[in-house]
Structure 1
Amino acid sequence: MKSNVTAFISKHQLLTTGATVLVGVSGGPDSMALLHFLRSIQKEWELRLIAISIDHKLRDMESKSDLDYVRDSCDKWDIPFVGMSLDVPAYKQDKRMGTQIAAREMRYRFFAAQMEKYGADYLALGHHGDDQVETMVMGLVRSANSSDFSGIPVKRDFATGSIIRPLLGVTKEEINAYLEAYEIIPRVDPTNNETVYTRNFFRKKAIPLLKEKNSNIHTTVQHLSETLGEDEQFLRREAKKAFKEIVELDVGGRQASFEIDVFQAQHSALQRRIFHLILNYLYDRLPKDLSYVHEEQFFALLQSDKGNVPIDFPAHLKLEKVYGKLMFYFLTQEKLHHPSYHKILEVPGRIDFPDGSTVSALYNNTYEEDHQYSYFCNIEEIALPLHIRTRSAGDRMRWSGLEGSKKVKDIFIDAKIPKKDRAAWPILTDNNGEILWLIGLKKGQPEQKKSNTSYIQIIYEKGDM
């Protein structure tokens, strides 16, 4: 095993002379073999080794005994030891997540803290070639996304340095032979033999069958993992470049949009990755029920000829096609219930809205040039008080040059206003219900610009939220 691991380290440039290496050690066969191997090359590479061991509090006294076993081994081998008990059951309950995910989060958070503390260059972990085969086969069975099919990385950036996995080039059988040769008796987790866990099922049932057809499958799969990983890194870099160029993000980070024709001009491999980059940006944590089905819905929506077509994603994320644009946004509780409002606008006075926007009214003896967010009413031609409200069924408005009136709904459609924004759109009316201003969008029957009269000026200011 030693020659194979040394060659693997050299091929992938996993170590540098004089490096500080933290070694994750559970007391099991793989991590104990890794720790012993690194100790065997410590002088040659001038390595500073520190063993890191964690009790996840998942197996009562057994996991505590594992910690003690690693400590004793490190004392015997003259390797500095750092041990920690992490309350995974409590964390799991608090965060409402599965045991394995909770344990991994806590474990890697602790690893990162120790990397920072010791200024470590590497964190070495004991994953081996059979683990890689299991991971790849599980990915094939469980995932429809090629991005999830690149396996366990040999090396990746982490904290102050990198995570390295020097044993990915050898099999479990080679590791067991190494332990036997050096008379190392590791701790064995009894749950490793229970096939109720998905990985154990593949380990006990599927992998042996594959090895019957190809005894060197770990090497084949490792090569596949590396080539797929290199391809994926390139595609992700290109996707990130395209993401920055074509995706518009709102200030609060809760919305994203892009021009559909610009998006579709990208290669399909980049389109898929841009889609996932958007989801990773919007979701704090990807929902469990988010699957390849949603990806299919996304691409079906892009191909649809219909405008204003919305689809629902988990956790109240909505995708809406709006006249050549695709929008991603979350429905807040307020938007989910589409609350209406009706407020009196005093003159002078101001109305504040939850999104931070305001509508102000003031008297003005001088008529000024109109702009998009300012409106002038001739006092002699309107019925006070003024009102600010949301739309009602059948709303219509009139303006100069229009024969009769037009539905507010059709005005929204003509202006390509997304459906999500219409329900709460502020509308200015007089006391007779006449719509004077679809604020920021359309101005109603214009005032007569008489001299020697007074006006009311309405000013709308957008919020920053």
Structure 2
Amino acid sequence: MKQEVLTFIKKHQLLRKNTTVLVGVSGGPDSMALLHFLRSLKNEWKLKVVALSVDHQLRGDDSLADLQYVEKTCKEWGIGFVGVSLDVSSYKKKHGISTELAGRELRYQFFGEQMELFQADYLALGHHGDDQVETMFMKMSRTASSSSFQGIPVQRKFFTGYIIRPFLCITKEVLEEYCKENQIDARIDSTNFETDYTRNFFRNKIIPLIKEKNSNIHSIVQHLSETLSEDEQFLREEAGKMVDELIDFDGENGNVSFHADLFKNRDQALQRRAYHLILNYLYKDLPKDLSYAHEEQFFALLQRKNGNVRLDFPSDLKLENSYGFITFYFCEHHKAPNLSYHYRLDIPGICVLPDGSTITAGFVEENTEQDNFSCIFSTEQVKLPLHIRTRKPGDRMSWKGLNGSKKLKDIFIDAKIPLSARGSWPVVTDDQGEILWLIGLKKGQLTSQRLKGATIQLYFEKGKL
């Protein structure tokens, strides 16, 4: 066993000489075998080894006895020891989480504190190949995303160093045999045989059946976990580049926005991961009721080309598609900015709008060719002075060829103008409120069609802000 584990350590570069290694030790065969194994390397590798043991106070005197057993063994083996009793039940009630999650959070909090206290390089944990098989099959039963279908990592960053799991290459049977050979009288947690917990159900009911068909399943699953992790790391890096290029993060208002067409041009695998990166940015903690069904709703929303559609996500997160412009925002933080303005336009003169756009007015001697961003009329056709403003409720206008008038709201809808742009869209009126020009969209039908008096020319230039 020792050589197999050392080969695994070397392959993954899990351990260096002259370092401090903390070991999570429960008193069971797995962790006791790990502690014994690292003790056997202690002198040759010049390691400082310290055992960390946690009493979760869930099994009364038995769990305390486990901690005391670890402490006694460490004294016999000449290994440093730090133990703690944690009130998992109270923590569980306070945070409304499962017993398993409460125990894990408190345990890793303690581990992190000790990592910093010892300035440790590694935290070694005794997870083995069978644990990996259980984890992968558990995830297979409840995970609908390949990005979440990964096993227990061999190594990951943790406080001052790394969590390492040198035993993922071997089975529990091998560890139990190791304990017998080295006369390690490990403690047995009776709750491991209960099936109330999900992991124990897989451990006691499912995995034994699979191992009957393939006793080497742990090696296959470990290889699968590693390759999936490598692939996922690459895809997430590429998705991160995509997000940097396409997504606009408004940190002040907590909003995220992007153009659907640009997003959809990227590979589907990157789109999915970019979607999850956005959610991780917006949510402090991902809601428990956020599921793959929400992912499907997002991609359906992404395909919408017309109108304004909004989705409701957990914790008041809203997703909105306004004519191909996607916005994520929380209702509590989303306050529509005051985009309205009203300016008098002198002739000659220049009006600068809040977004940096300009409208230039002047008198001309002869008519020039017009486009969507220029407009011409005479002083006899309008009541001066002119005004530049944003729309008002009930605004209507008419134009050549239209029978009657039409609401500006309907003009915006017909032109597929996003809701976010309508509030600041410039409208030119005369002094009596007659809409002369909805810039870039429509030019008003004037009462008199004859150009009498001085001719006024307006030019619009889009700002660069």
TM-score interval, smaller chain:
0.7 to 0.9
Where structure 1 has 5 or more consecutive residues not aligned to the other structure, the ranges are 336-353, 383-387, 429-433, 446-465
Are the aligned partners of 1:396 and 1:435 in contact in 2 as well (CA < 8 Å)?
Answer: no
Which residue does the alignment assign to 2:217?
A: 217
- Unpaired segments ≥5 residues, structure 2: 359-382, 428-432, 445-465
Contact 2:343 2:351 in 1 (8 A): no
Q: Does 1:372 align with 2:353?
A: yes
User: How do residues 390-401 of structure 1 correspond to structure 2 at under 5 angstroms?
Assistant: 395-397=394-396
Contact 1:133 1:217 in 2 (8 A): yes
Give the conservation status (yes or no) of the 8 Å contact 1:27–1:186: yes
The correspondence of residues 33-432 of structure 1 with structure 2, limited to 5 A, is 33-252=33-252, 254-332=254-332, 369-373=350-354, 395-397=394-396, 406-410=406-410, 412-413=412-413, 418=418
The alpha-carbon deviation at position 45 of structure 1 amounts to 0.8
Output the CA distance in 2 between the equivalents of 1:291 and 1:216. Answer: 33
Return the alpha-carbon distance in structure 2 between the equivalents of residues 182 and 410 of structure 1. 83
Tell me by how many angstroms 1:132 deviates. Answer: 0.4
2:306–2:416 CA contact under 8 A, matched in 1: no
Mapped partners of 1:365, 1:427: distance in 2: 16
Deviation at 1:150, TM superposition (A): 2.0
CA distance in structure 2 between the partners assigned to 1:56 and 1:324 by the alignment? 52
Alpha-carbon deviation of 1:406? 4.1
Q: 1:192 to 1:221 in 2, by over 3 A?
A: same
One-letter amino acid of the counterpart of residue 57, structure 1: Q
- In structure 1, distance between residues paired with 2:101 and 2:209: 29
AA aligned to 2:200 is: N
Q: Distance in 2 between matches of 1:73 and 1:118?
A: 21
Could you say what secondary structure the match of 1:57 adopts? Answer: coil
**SS where residue 163 of structure 1 aligns?**
strand
Answer yes or no: is the 8 Å Cα contact 2:311–2:320 preserved in 1.
yes
Instruction: Describe the SS at the equivalent of 1:26.
Output: coil
Secondary structure of the structure 1 residue equivalent to 2:306: coil
TM-score, normalised with respect to structure 1 = 0.77
Cα distance in 2 for residues equivalent to 1:405 and 1:179: 89
Return the alpha-carbon distance in structure 2 between the equivalents of residues 369 and 420 of structure 1.
25
Deviation (angstroms), 1:88? 2.5
3-state SS in 2 of match to 1:188: coil
- Give the 3-state SS of the residue equivalent to 2:329 in structure 1: strand
SS of residue paired to 1:37: helix
| 2:352 partner SS | coil
Deviations 1:185-238 (A, max 9, x none): 222222211112111111111111111111111111111111111111111111
Matched residue type, 1:396? D
Tell me the SS of whatever aligns to 2:53.
strand
> 1: distance between equivalents of 2:263 and 2:342?
43
Paired letter, 2:273? R
Asked if 1 retains the 8 angstrom alpha-carbon contact of 2:154 and 2:168, the reply is yes
2-side partners of 1:421 and 1:112: how far apart?
49
Does the CA-based 8 Å contact 1:397-1:435 persist in structure 2? no
Deviation of 1:301 after TM superposition, in Å, equals 1.9
Corresponding residue pairs, total: 412
CA contact (8 A) 1:372 1:441 kept: no
User: Alignment RMSD, CA only?
Assistant: 3.7
- 2:177 maps to a residue whose letter is A
Which residue of 2 is the match for residue 448 of structure 1? none
Q: In the aligned structure 2, how far is the partner of 1:79 from the partner of 1:24?
A: 13
* 1:245-278, Cα deviation, whole Å (9 max, x unpaired): 1111112362212212211221111111111111
Identify which range, 53-62 or 169-178, moves more after superposition: 53-62
CA contact (8 A) 1:391 1:427 kept: no
Tell me the SS of whatever aligns to 2:218.
helix
Once residues 12 and 107 of structure 1 are traced to their aligned partners in structure 2, the CA distance between those partners, rounded to angstroms, is 25
CA distance 1:435–1:298, change in 2 (3 Å): farther
SS in 2 for 1:102: helix
Kept in 1, the 8 Å contact 2:307–2:413? The answer is no
2:284 counterpart letter in structure 1: D
Residue by residue over 1:34-90, the C-alpha shift from the partner in whole angstroms, topping out at 9 and shown as x without a partner, is: 111100111111111111112223333332222222111111111111122233223
Matched, 1:25 2:6: no
Alignment partners' CA distance in 2, 1:265 and 1:137: 34
What amino acid does structure 2 have at the position aligned with 1:153? P
State the one-letter code of the partner of 1:162.
Y
- Alignment-derived partner of residue 453 in structure 1: none
Q: Are residues 406 and 364 of structure 1, via their aligned partners in 2, closer, same or farther at CA, if it must alter by over 3 Å?
A: closer
CA contact (8 A) 2:20 2:120 kept: yes
Q: 1:370 aligns to what SS in structure 2?
A: strand
Q: Which residue of 2 aligns with 1:449?
A: none
- Letter matched to residue 352 of structure 2: H
Partners of 1:310 and 1:359 in 2: CA distance: 24
Check the 8 A contact 2:339/2:424 in 1, yes or no: no
Cα pair 1:287 1:314 within 8 Å, conserved: yes
Structure number with greater Rg is 2
> Does the C-alpha gap of structure 1 residues 61 and 415 become closer, same or farther in structure 2, counting only changes over 3 Å?
farther
Structure-2 change in CA distance of 1:212 and 1:318 (3 Å): same
Q: Normalised by the size of structure 2, how large is the TM-score?
A: 0.77
**Partner residue of 1:340?**
none
Over the matched positions of the two proteins, sequence identity in percent amounts to: 54
Q: Partner residue of 1:2?
A: 2
CA distance in 2, matches of 1:327, 1:75: 60
Give the corresponding residue for 2:370: none
**Distance change in 2, residues 1:358/1:413 (3 Å):** closer
- CA–CA distance in structure 2, aligned partners of residues 195 and 291 of structure 1: 26
Contact kept, 8 Å, 2:397 with 2:408, in 1: the verdict is no
Distance 1:279 1:204 in 2: 36
Structure 1 counterpart SS, 2:286: coil
Distance 1:296 1:359 in 2: 37
